A and B are shown apart, each in its own frame.
Chain A
Amino acid sequence: MSEILKTEDLRLYYRTSLGTVKAVDGVSFSLRQGETLAIIGESGCGKSSLARALIRFLPRNVAEFSGSIFLDGVDVMKLSDADYDKRIRWKKISYVTQAAINSLNPVIKVVDHLIEPLVLHLNMSKKEAVEHAKDVIKKVGIAEEFLWRYPFELSGGMRQRVVIALSIISNPKIVILDEPTSALDVMTQANIINLLKELKQKLNLSYIFITHDIAISSELSDRIAVMYAGQIVEIGPAERMYTDPLHPYSKGLLNSVPRLREDKPVVFIPGTPPSLINPPKGCRFRPRCPFAKPICEKDPPVVRTSPENFVRCWLYGEK
């Protein structure tokens, strides 16, 4: 499996009346072709901002956007917005936003939603685009006749399938899924997860799966990145992360998940995440960490657990 995405020291800061919000603050990770990376963390940890930085959907109040993103060999930070739109977005990387099922225009037919990117970005003729849309809609498990329906005539699960069809219609290599199932019912959620697994297999897709639900993250992820206060504090393989995470915050998150099949006690992490305007010095988790030591007031080292995985914590650093 080859590397399809790599970020180095990625930063995305926002300007607000209260100060600069460091939503993404020095994030480095890599992703292989066909691999799913889950990004988990509490709300406000910067996981959705990270997604927006990758697909370059930025609000107007950006204070700083720096670092590097290599996508399929292209240094995309060097591209202008117009070039990015032309060469990268939808063609290499696509994005399913949170609550995307409400983003379909209720008075535009499903088929018109699907052919729009094909006609506009891939210069297909309308006829070709409709043929292609027929193919894709079948791939997501919807009968062809639904192309001629309006989104309001579809159930939540079907609309989510349409949104997923949209995200794969221009054959991207990476799909960012931002809480793709959080608004859905249990059974619908299971169906959508099944669909995502099948598509990944068939199309050799890479997913970046953003969620705060650790149980759901285990449905797709090959690797997991745990984010806290704008930084990745640990990244590691699924086999280890769900059983034996290293960082105290990852441990805390895992212990706070209520289990259905085991009778393990649940323990929440006391305290609240820090402000991203003025995060604590040194390790940002220090004020809530049960293992905090004086040395944690200094920036923790990035300890490699393998060439592509690491944990950012003094417990594993230089003694």
Chain B
Amino acid sequence: MGRSDLDKLSNAVLEVRNIKVWYPVRKLLSIVGYVRAVDGATFDVKRGEIVAIVGESGCGKTTLAKAIIGLVPVTEGSIVFDGVDITKLPRARLRSWYSAQIGYVQQDPFGAMPPFMTIKGILEEPLRIHNVPKKERYERVYTMLQDVGLTPPEDYMNKHPHMLSGGQLQRIAIARALILRPKLVVADEPVSMLDASVRIEILTMFKELKDKYNVSVVYITHDFATAKYFSDRIVVMYAGQIVEKGPAKEVIHNPKHPYTEALLSVLPDPDPKNRLVIKKTLPGEPPNLINPPPGCRFHPRCPYAFDKCKKEEPPMVALKDYVEVKCWRYA
């Protein structure tokens, strides 16, 4: 892929088209069913944009992240990165080319770092694998550490992960994700293990670096509040499917899908009146992904459900202000 090819392409750095990731459930030697972790997801990530994928645990958001970075095989659909469908790419090419184009930040900063390596070693490793000359490697590690606010870098280079706090480790994880100058970073709950006050600090820094390095970000989270502040667009997932997507503020202030509406209505802002009210919550729990309900997957919990919702799967309906919603009420 030369630079000139890029110019011909659309504004999107990533185009996910109807992807499905089904994990087989095995009993002895035969496959008895599939966990439909991601079951038909379509969205774009534009250049320089932060897209938040929001959902509760078990909705398939981490599987979606793993599919994007090529860590799990995709059952169906395509993931087009810079004009190349990575689901059709041979394994070797995935590792030699694609792995330098995308960065990944994991949820648990403590588990994400090899404990016996120094910070310098951890940050240098991707550069070494991608054949960056030794002298340049040092310089890049040095400036990267400065960029993530770990100064002076000399103080951190020879430290081991256990000597740093969670916030500092997450800075290292972000540095590692950015060091190859990727076009896209997938951050899977990058701040959920950190303290509330540190979260904002790390996300603010991440957003600044995104502009500096001109990357796009897929921000996987369960937290609507940080998604509102740190993303341009929000994609809401439920039971393996995207149920709503749109500009961040639009989705937060004016949710369309009954699921988004219900989640947002129970999330508190700091307000002394909260303690005086009992909240209206949804009945039941998210469905089993081996055998999801027919029709709309949300219908057993939906306060607005009517007959059609139980039988036919709703289409993705485009509304005004670039909002799309998968719900029969708008079809």
Interface on A for B, CB 8 Å cutoff?
36, 42-43, 155, 157, 185-187, 189-191, 193-194, 197-198, 212-222, 238-239, 241-243, 252-254, 256-263, 266-270, 272
Contacts and interface: CB of A to CB of B under 8 A. Distances in A.
A59 B239 CA distance: 43
B252 interface: yes
B195 A215 contact: no
Interface stretch (B115-123, B151-159, B267-275): B267-275
A12 B304 CA distance: 54
Contact of A266 (B229, B266, B269, B278): B229
A189 B228 CA distance: 20
A242 B263 contact: no
A218 B281 contact: no
Q: Which 8 A-B pairs have the closest CB atoms?
A: A190-B266, A258-B225, A238-B272, A268-B200, A268-B201, A185-B56, A215-B268, A218-B274
Contacts of A269: 197
B262 interface: yes
Contacts of A260: 224-225, 228, 252, 264, 267, 269
Contacts of B32: none
Given A191-B281, A258-B200, 20 more contacts: A187-B281, A212-B195, A213-B196, A214-B270, A215-B225, A218-B268, A219-B268, A219-B274, A220-B275, A242-B271, A243-B272, A256-B196, A256-B197, A256-B200, A258-B225, A258-B228, A260-B252, A261-B269, A266-B200, A268-B204
Contact of B56 (A42, A186, A262): A186
B196 A257 contact: yes
Contacts of B267: 186, 215, 260
B275 A219 contact: yes
Interface in B217-245: 222, 224-226, 228-229
Interface residues of B, number: 36
Contacts of B262: 187
B275 A36 contact: yes
B11 interface: no
14 contacts: A42-B198, A185-B56, A186-B222, A186-B263, A190-B279, A194-B278, A214-B196, A215-B269, A218-B269, A242-B271, A253-B197, A256-B197, A258-B229, A259-B269
Nearest to B268: A215
Contact of A221 (B204, B225, B275, B281): B275
B165 interface: yes
A36 B285 CA distance: 29
Contact of A216 (B167, B197, B268): B268
Contacts of B226: 258
B146 interface: no
Given A214-B196, A268-B200, A238 B225 contact: no
Contacts of B268: 215-216, 218-219
A164 to B, nearest CB: 16
A252 B262 CA distance: 30
